Amino acid sequence: MNDSKITTRYAKALFNNAKDNQMLETVKQDIDSIYVILKEVEDFERFFISPIIKVSKKYEVIEHLFKNRIHQITYDFLRLITENRREAHLKMMCLNFNKYFYEHYKIIEATIKTVDKLSEPMRKDFIDMISKSFKAKVNLTEIVDPRIIGGYILTIDDNLYDASIATKLKNIKKELQSS
């Protein structure tokens, strides 16, 4: 089975289990925490995905780190993927779970890149504009990047809206060079 099918099936199963037990928000928090740990603690990720380390040892670590700290649904999920030797796919399972969560609650992920942090009124304007356009709630992530010189770069799903000064200057430079 390819990686995409594995991560999708496990994420969907976790999502449905959490939904059936009315624990979506709680499991979402757990999944977000686990994702951060996997992303930021390389030793944990290496340990967790290592095929050399016995499942029983991984169970001990999962219990030590997560028992009584995450919901039982999430805990059982971690044990299941460990038992089935699917640990290497956990990061993508977390991302896929979040995709299902956002679809369920009609939430759109958007990222905006600007030179400076957005003011609250400007942030609210962007959220309102995106929300009206897509008829959905918006989870807006801000990235400060002085390289864009001014303006903004807005990413929604797979769509990129580049209104940065840096890109406009590059385009003008190309036009001048081609003439």
CB-CB contact of 132 with 161 (8 Å)? no
Clarify whether residues 71 and 159 are in a common domain.
no
Rg (CA), the chain: 21
Query: How many domains are contained in the chain?
Result: 2
Considering 101, 130, 148, which residue would you say is the last residue of a domain?
101
Clarify whether residues 119 and 94 are in a common domain.
no
For the question of whether the overall pTM of this predicted structure is more than 0.85, the answer is: no
Clarify whether residues 57 and 144 are in a common domain.
no
User: Which ranges constitute the DSSP H helices of the chain?
Assistant: 3-20, 24-40, 42-49, 55-66, 72-83, 90-104, 120-134, 165-178
Clarify whether residues 22 and 62 are in a common domain.
yes
Domain containing 52 equals 3-101
Clarify whether residues 133 and 51 are in a common domain.
no
Residue 169 has what pLDDT?
A: 87
pLDDT tens for the chain, residues 1 to 179 = 556 899 999 999 999 999 999 999 999 999 999 999 999 998 988 998 898 999 999 999 999 989 889 999 999 999 999 999 999 999 999 999 999 999 999 999 999 999 999 999 999 999 999 999 999 999 999 999 999 999 999 999 888 999 999 888 888 988 888 87
Considering 83, 101, 119, which residue would you say is the last residue of a domain?
101
Clarify whether residues 27 and 67 are in a common domain.
yes
Clarify whether residues 111 and 95 are in a common domain.
no
Q: What is the CATH number of the domain that holds 25?
A: 1.10.520.20
Clarify whether residues 43 and 94 are in a common domain.
yes
Residue 145 has what pLDDT?
A: 93
Q: Which residue has the tokens 């971690």?
A: 78
Residue 17 has what pLDDT?
A: 97
Residue 1 has what pLDDT?
A: 54
Considering 62, 80, 101, which residue would you say is the last residue of a domain?
101
Clarify whether residues 87 and 159 are in a common domain.
no
Clarify whether residues 96 and 10 are in a common domain.
yes
Clarify whether residues 119 and 44 are in a common domain.
no
Clarify whether residues 85 and 120 are in a common domain.
no
How far, CA to CA in Å, does 84 sit from each of 35, 49, 145? 19, 12, 42
